[in-house]
Structure 1
Amino acid sequence: MARNRKRPGKVRTKRNNRREPLLLSTMAPEDYNVRPDEVMSIACPDCRTWRRIMGTYDLKIREHCISGKVAEGTEHTLCPGSNQAVIVDIDVRRWQVRQDRLLREAMPQDNRRAAQQFYKPLPAPAVPVSRITAEVTLEGARQSYLAHRKGCIRCVGGQHCLDGGPLARRFVLALQQDPARREAEREAVRQAHRQERARLGFRAAQWDMYGTTVEAANNQCRKRESDTLSEFRGPGLPMLPQDVTAYDRRQAELGKQYGRKRPAPSAT
């Protein structure tokens, strides 16, 4: 049996079936195979059998018969689709990607599943209470030690288990540090009170320094009655400049500057 070679077949004739060239874009994507690493083949449009595409540049469907089985004494009938010219007018790479996706989707689920199974890792065991590093208070250490001692059968008298020993030492350490901690808290409260008193004293000193002026200004804010003139209006309000000579000189200079400016051209 001849091996199906990957190199393109040799076209031994220049004849064709005198039909219009067959465009692959007009056919269903599953009716032809143009993978670069495989022999190109196509389903004949006439007999619907898979046939090889011959040639390198001038592509044609290989000459074949309508049926491979005939009655004894009769001749084979040549298929009209033999020597049909074929034109590859598609994007081969895009077609190959689409065909690969269709093959994966059609594959059974058991075959698509990975050979190696990945399981969710088990959570780490909880850290014992004796190893938890958190803020230690006297009441918290006492409750932890008593709760452990109540449920542990090894902690009897002055004897402790591996977990009860650290809890007992933590409770004793909290007892020793509790007076200093309470004194530090009281000192922090006293410091906060001193800062608040200093802030209020500074504010009072500011009012003592500027309070009279501000109070006098506030007292002058009185309600104005309707139909009355303001103190900033009337015959007593000065209308002339303080230095009349300097004012006249400045006005004369401004007049000369305006006179030297060119007049704007009129639109005529």
Structure 2
Amino acid sequence: MPRKRPGRVRTKNTNRREALKLSTMAPEDYNVRPGEVKSIACPNCRTWRRIMGETVLKIREHCISDKVADGEKHVTCPGSNQVVIIDIDVSHWQARQNRLLRDAMPQENRRAARQFYKPLPAPAAPVARIHAGVTLETARRAYLAHVEECVRCGTGQHCTRGGALAHRYVLVRKEELARRKAHKQSAPAARKALWDQRGGATVETANNQCRPRLDGAVSEYRGPQVPSKPLRVIA
């Protein structure tokens, strides 16, 4: 990439004023970004002018009016050939200007460099194709409600959606019957497994042993100290 040469200073004359230091000016009144043309707002006419030179920087010679081509008189601005000294930290100035530009930008224009788009959600499946969580009663109600609204299904001939609802009702009905049948077959086996786990014949034998107590003692679960008659206290 070719290097941008700064503008040539065609004269060594100055306006004989004290050199203008950028540290004494407002940060928004000059532009010294690296890679860009240096410019400054003339302190006299307040118009943006180019800063010329490599070692000795001076404001480019300009006239007061910008309408010389329209016939106005050419009057040189007193700020022409003003010596400029860059006595600031350009990196800090650039960071501060970038922050100010970002804060002044409207909120709708503050976007990240890379846009992330959320994927569109998939369209919901029709009611006729939903099988998860459908009970026999809900499938029956959905089919009957469609038959009442659909003209074609009311005549005995199913439309596409009505046929799907009818197929779903039949499918749920078969699944419900198969589930009940499997539950009936598995219930005795489950009870038998639980009975074997709890002791089985040992528990049954203990329950059937009803031997009378020969000593007349009370059950060991209560103890002999518990009175068998109500206690009546006379005040």
1:161 matched to 2:167: no
Q: 1:152 offset after TM fit, Å?
A: 1.8
Q: 1:155 offset after TM fit, Å?
A: 1.6
Q: How far apart, CA to CA, are the structure 2 residues paired with 1:141 and 1:63?
A: 89
Deviations, residues 208-255 of structure 1 (Å, cap 9, x unaligned): 9xxxxxxxxxxxxxxxxxxxxxxxxxxxxxxxxxxxxxxxxxxxxxxx
Contact 1:6–1:38, Cα closer than 8 Å, also in 2: no
TM-score by length of 2: 0.55
Contact 1:24–1:89, Cα closer than 8 Å, also in 2: yes
TM-score by length of 1: 0.50
Q: 1:64 offset after TM fit, Å?
A: 6.3
Could you list the runs of 5+ residues in structure 2 that have no partner in the other structure? 67-74, 112-117, 207-235
1:185 aligned residue:
183
More RCO (CA 8 Å, sep 6+): 2
Map 1:43-192 onto structure 2 (within 5 A): 43-45=41-43, 48-62=46-60, 79=78, 82-91=81-90, 93-94=94-95, 97-98=98-99, 100-101=101-102, 104-105=105-106, 126-156=124-154, 158-192=156-190
Opposite residue 22 of structure 2, the aligned amino acid is: L
Deviations, residues 17-63 of structure 1 (Å, cap 9, x unaligned): 363x4332331122112244543222333554544322112223345
2:209 aligned residue:
none
- Structure 1 residues 147 and 91: CA distance shift in structure 2, 3 A: same
Contact 2:15–2:80, Cα closer than 8 Å, also in 1: no
Opposite residue 10 of structure 1, the aligned amino acid is: V
1:196 aligned residue:
194
Count how many residue pairs are aligned between Structure 1 and Structure 2: 183
1:41 aligned residue:
39
Contact 1:25–1:90, Cα closer than 8 Å, also in 2: no
Could you list the runs of 5+ residues in structure 1 that have no partner in the other structure? 70-75, 115-119, 209-268
- Structure 1 residues 87 and 159: CA distance shift in structure 2, 3 A: closer
Contact 1:61–1:86, Cα closer than 8 Å, also in 2: no
Q: How far apart, CA to CA, are the structure 1 residues paired with 2:60 and 2:176?
A: 99
Opposite residue 150 of structure 1, the aligned amino acid is: E
Q: 1:168 offset after TM fit, Å?
A: 2.3
- Structure 1 residues 125 and 99: CA distance shift in structure 2, 3 A: closer
Deviations, residues 181-200 of structure 1 (Å, cap 9, x unaligned): 21212334444433432332
Q: How far apart, CA to CA, are the structure 2 residues paired with 1:47 and 1:158?
A: 92
Opposite residue 86 of structure 2, the aligned amino acid is: I
SS in 1 for 2:40: strand
- Structure 1 residues 155 and 8: CA distance shift in structure 2, 3 A: same
Q: Which has the larger radius of gyration?
A: 1
